Structure 1
Amino acid sequence: MNKEELLWLRRYNQYCGKFMYKERCRSGISEQKISRGVCTRTELRKMENGDIPWKKMIGDYLLQRLGVPTEYFEVMADARELNGWRDREDICLIIFEQPQKAQQLLETYQKKYRKKRHLKSSF
């Protein structure tokens, strides 16, 4: 990435983090309570400060805990995060019609994404 892209990405991370921080403060929810089971308080602070990249899945989950409907605004996801989301959607789409196939996909998913991030798996 060139300097301009890095600057844009930094501002993007800061904007997303600042938005979440304001919503958390407005709701009166502590760092510990909002981050429980999702990320550490240090990671939350770094996200809110824009010091680490904003992750769509974690950000959406935290914002939903705050009661913010995330479907009304766009947040970027990196390729790995998007692929993980697609893999989970594939499992959800066939779980009732093809449970054995869904189980195979779930096992593949768990091997592929095992211990890559702090967010607990939805499955």
Structure 2
Amino acid sequence: MWVVSTFERKHSHSCCNEQETQFLRSHQNVSEEDKALAIGMCQSGIKKRNIIKITKNKVGGYENLGYTPTDLDNSVQNSRDDDEDLIGDVNQTLSYLQSKNTSDRGSFFKYTVSDEGELSNLFWSDSTSRGDY
């Protein structure tokens, strides 16, 4: 257990200057707009180093970005991971329902896919639910 024996109100260290505040974690935030723009540029085949240059030029320099290149890269990667998790869940669900069809002759499922290639609708029933209906 720690006990505070003395408290010094005056700062015992110098604060960072204005040009360095962008590196403080509390000041680093990738806006949804910048994140969406970066994801779109990635999907268009633009290299990450060029994406940073474009966003830097848009705001007038690194000091005005509000985040580091690594922050933007992590934000884009996290978004990509979320999308892959969703795709994995959909594939796993469809595989499960397909195997259910093999083991339960009374099971049925049907699904539709949107123009964007996303799962839109999913209907399923097994022999028990069909019998109850």
Question: Which category of TM-score, normalised to the shorter sequence, fits these structures?
Answer: under 0.3
Higher relative contact order (CA closer than 8 Å, sequence separation 6+):
1
Structure 1 length normalisation: TM-score? 0.27
Relative to total residues, which structure has the larger helix share, 1 or 2?
1
Bigger radius of gyration: 2
Relative to total residues, which structure has the larger strand share, 1 or 2?
2
Structure 2 length normalisation: TM-score? 0.26
